[in-house]
Amino acid sequence: MLASVVSYLIALVTFVVVDMGWLGVMASRFYKPILGDIAIAGVNLPPAAIFYATYPIGLVIFAIEPALRSGSWLNAPLYGAFFGFFTYATYDLSNQATLRNWTSTLSAVDVVWGTFLGAVTAAITFWVINKLMPTG
């Protein structure tokens, strides 16, 4: 149980820091020009906070804990990439199907980003948890 809580906290910090770096650079350069008038000014904090608090739980359950159980560091980024791909693809393709400004380019870039973000977050979390708690 302790390993799960520590894994969550590490994944949470990693996920938020890496994603904020991406959004800090790309929001005004990529997302806002495509989304135009459907993008709000600023951020709606309650749903953003819920997203950032819950997404790492999925990474822990579906990527990090299975990798820790297997003892294979390769499983962490692999399962993290799959989790990121499927979750971001669900979001992006649903938006593309229902929002007029959502483009194929936006979906493709965001799905690639989600895949990378899931892989990196899971890999870093796996590495740190093995350094802090070598027995997992």
Over residues 92-105, the pLDDT tens digits come to 999 999 999 999 99
Structural domain boundaries, residue 124: 2-132
Predicted confidence (pLDDT) at residue 81 exceeds the cutoff of 90: yes
Kindly report the pTM of this predicted structure: 0.95
Number of folded domains in the chain?
Answer: 1
The 3 state secondary structure assigned to 26-68 is HHHHHHHHHHHHHCCCCCCHHHHHHHHHHHHHHHHHHHHHHHH
Alpha-carbon distance of 65 to 106, in angstroms, equals 31
Predicted confidence (pLDDT) at residue 136 exceeds the cutoff of 60: no
At 41, give phi and psi (nearest 5°).
-80, 125
Provide the residue type at 39 as one letter. Answer: A
